[in-house]
Amino acid sequence: MGSAFALNLVSKGNEVHVYNRSKEKLRELISKGAIAHPSPYELGKSVEIVITSLTDQDAVDSVVMGNEGALRGMKKGTLWIEMSTIDPDASIRQAEEAKRAGIDRLDVPVIGNRNMAAEGRLSLLVGGDERVFERDREFLNQLGSTVIYLGKPGSGHKMKLILNLHLGMIGLAFSEAFVLSQKLGFDPNVFVEAFNKTAQKNYFSEVKGPLIAQGDYTPLFTVNMLLKDLTLAENQAT
Just list the catalytic residues: 160
Is 7 within 8 Å of 118 (Cβ atoms)? yes
Residue 111 CA to residue 121 CA, distance in Å, equals 9
Residue 126 CA to residue 18 CA, distance in Å, equals 22
Strands 79-82 and 110-111: unpaired
Residue 78 CA to residue 184 CA, distance in Å, equals 58
Task: Give strand ranges (E) for the chain.
Answer: 17-18, 35-36, 49-52, 79-82, 104-107, 110-111, 122-128, 144-151
Residue 149 carries which DSSP code? E
Is 213 within 8 Å of 188 (Cβ atoms)? yes
